[in-house]
Amino acid sequence: MINKYGGSCGACRTWVEAGAGQAIRVDGRWSSYHHRCAPARTAPPRGAHAGWHDLPLVGFDLEATVPQPMRTRIVSAALTHTDGTERTWLIDPGVPIPPDATTLHGISDDMVRAHGRPAREALAEIGTAVAKLIADGTPLVAFCASYDITALHTELARHGLPSIAWDQAVVVDPSVLHREVERYWSGGRQLGDLCPYYEVELDTAHEATSDARAAVGLARSIAARHERIARMPLPELHQAQIDWYAEQGRDLQRYFDRTGQGKTVSLEWPLETVDRD
């Protein structure tokens, strides 16, 4: 994070002006660094412990039209199994795809009109596939899961399709896990920011199949490096993430309130029920 106060650089010992460098927690203490002097972050070593990361996991990701999960329309989705099996969907949402969304994930109106499946048809398949995974007790891994799950839930309802029993699901969200194990993290927390730290390959950011694979890789890597996380029974881990996400959200809300940003943070995970701007 940006250093709020001036101080001596923890590496070269010359002065770092307030706001001109980074504040990084090293060995339990905060120090200022010039950007060029900031130490490389290294994840804890992998352990030999067993845990849920040894079990079959399924990655889930989707790309869509807008950032608000209860208003968005899904344009692509992927389910990736750890045995290499994958299912992907390209979907014509029936509404124009905003240019900024196309810039992010590369999916255009022309692409979905030429090659996309009708929304209701594709969403019915996705809903059925996800519901079967939940019924089978298979853990579903999604990075920033509240977006993907809320978007899918809303889209199924929008098209009059059967809902999914999310209260019976076991969801693993690497973004929540990372915030729990790296509470003093400085810097980006997006998928592309975390993959290098956890030594996970991300082929193409904002491509559903690639992101779903990377999400599983992150979940496994975090559990392999943090025995406390890996040893938790999956139902207990799911409940813990509900609690961690709410506390993480309260911390962020306090920051927004303190800085007068006027934003409201959802405390619901993995399914949001209140629409927000």
φ and ψ of 35, to 5 deg: -55, -40
Q: How far is CA 162 from CA 156, 270, 271, in A?
A: 7, 18, 16
pTM: 0.90
Name the residue among 42, 54, 106 with its Cα closest to residue 82.
Answer: 54
Q: What is the structure's pLDDT at 38?
A: 84
For 122-179, the pLDDT digits (tens) are: 999 999 999 999 999 999 999 999 999 999 999 999 999 999 999 999 999 999 999 9
259 CB burial (10 A radius; 0-12, 13-18, 19+):
exposed
Give the pLDDT score at 184: 86
Higher-pLDDT residue of 110 and 276 is: 110
82-89 mean pLDDT? 95
Q: Is residue 26 over pLDDT 80? A: no
Q: How far apart are CA 94 and CA 113, in angstroms?
A: 9
Residues 6 or more apart from 43 whose CB is under 8 A from it? 197, 198, 199, 221, 225
pLDDT classification of 202: cutoffs 50, 70, 90: very high
Q: Torsions phi, psi of 83, nearest 5?
A: -90, 5
Domain ranges of the chain: 7-37, 44-271
3-state helix, strand, coil in the chain (%, to 5): 40, 15, 40
Number of H helices, E strands in the chain: 9, 10
pLDDT confidence of residue 128: 98
**Band (277; pLDDT cuts 50, 70, 90):** low
Q: Which of 123, 59, 127, 54 lies closest to 90 in space, CA to CA?
A: 123
Give the pLDDT of residue 220. Answer: 98
Q: Which fold has domain 44-271?
A: Nucleotidyltransferase; domain 5 (3.30.420)
* The pLDDT of residue 78: 98
pLDDT of residue 22: 80
Average pLDDT over residues 195-221: 97
| pLDDT above 90 for 40 | no
Mean per-residue pLDDT, 64-75 = 97
The token duo for 75 is: 């344009």
pLDDT value of residue 271: 98
Provide the pLDDT confidence category of residue 25 given band limits of 50, 70 and 90. confident
